[in-house]
Amino acid sequence: MPSRTPPPPAFEPLVSIEPSLSHAPDHAVAPARTAPTTPTAPTTRTATAATAARTARAALTAAAALTAMAVLAPLAAFVALPDGRTTTAGAIMLAVAVLDVVVALALLPVLAPAGRTLSRTAAALRLGYGIALGIAAVQLAVTADAGRFDRTWEAALGVFGLSLVAVGVLLWRLAGAPRWLGALVVVAGVGYVVDAVVAQAGPPDAFEVSTVSFVGEVALIVWLVVRGLRGLRDLRGGRTRHGHAGTDVEPEERRASTRRSDVPSTP
């Protein structure tokens, strides 16, 4: 009796469609976990040093602009204008107006720690004065009307005085600034405001208070120079104005980054 053999399978797959675990690598690599980045002390010191550098440079810029104004304005008012050289006087006063804008912007980072709103108000007042002075200077150069220029300038000096009052209050509040300096600047500002009011309503030969109250402006220039130079000197020595010890910040940040990248990842 012939032996019965089972029939061959109808289909025999050549390649298994199921993945074989035996082919998986022996050492599976888990995706690396990145540690969350947190602010480091060197980063904080870098930001503080950058702010101190900007403040020091802004103080020196304001001092340089104020010094140039103190030289140029008398040349226009007491030399060129009395000699009838209205075009020259107008050009000089236009340069003074531009310097006023520079001072307004440069004082912002210096005085902002004492009050952002008031420092912006002081800057806006000085910008307004600079614009008014610039317009009057152009009119003087074009029309040669010295009387009109004087009236416009005297009225604008009232706005300038208000800006000085705001600056004086900020200096009174500012840490590191002597309070007597703030008081002197306030007095100087009040002197300009009084002169502006008297020029519009008082006798033409009235005494000008600003001729004696300008001491506050001179003291402000000296303080800005000292403040700027001291800030740059401290930065070169590796110290901020808060008294931190100097560190090589950039290499330290690179070392910290290297240490973070060297931390073994966990699966």
SS (H, E, C) 223-261: HHHHHHHHHHHHHHCCCCCCCCCCCCHHHHHHHHHHHHH
Picking from 183, 184, 133, the residue whose alpha carbon sits closest to that of residue 158 is 133
Task: Decide if 64 is inside a domain.
Answer: yes
Q: What is the pLDDT of residues 124-156, one digit of tens each?
A: 999 999 999 999 999 999 999 999 999 899 899
Q: What is the CATH number of the domain that holds 185?
A: 1.25.40
Which is more confidently placed, 100 or 248?
A: 100
Counting the structural domains of the chain, the total is 1
Domain holding 210, by residue range, is 41-237
The pLDDT tens digits for 47-103 are 687 888 899 999 999 999 999 999 999 999 999 999 999 999 999 999 999 999 999
One DSSP character per residue, 47-58 reads HHHHHHHHHHHH
Q: Which residue has the higher pLDDT, 165 or 8?
A: 165
88 and 136 in contact (C-beta within 8 Å)? no
Could you list the beta-strand ranges (E) of 63-199.
Answer: none
pLDDT at residue 204 in the model: 66
Higher model confidence: residue 253 or residue 202? 202
Average pLDDT over residues 176-204: 89
Inside any domain, residue 3: no
- Report yes or no on 259 lying in a domain: no
Residue 126 lies in a domain: yes
CA pair distance 203, 185, nearest whole angstrom = 26
Q: What is the per-residue pLDDT for 87? A: 94
Mean pLDDT, rounded, of the chain: 80
CB-CB contact of 192 with 210 (8 Å): yes
The answer to whether position 22 is within a domain reads no
Mean of the pLDDT values across residues 169-192?
Answer: 95
Tokens 């910290």 found at: 256
243 domain-assigned: no
Q: Would the pTM of this model clear 0.75, i.e. be above it?
A: no
Asked whether residue 122 carries a pLDDT value surpassing 80, the answer given is yes
Identify the pLDDT of residue 200. Answer: 81
Q: How far apart are CA 196 and CA 157, in angstroms?
A: 6
How many other C-beta atoms can be found within 10 angstroms of the C-beta atom of residue 95?
17
Query: 8-55, pLDDT tens digit by residue?
Result: 555 444 444 444 444 445 555 555 555 555 555 556 666 687 888 899
Cα maximum dimension of the chain: 149
Cα–Cα dist 117/123, whole Å: 10
pLDDT of residue 259: 39
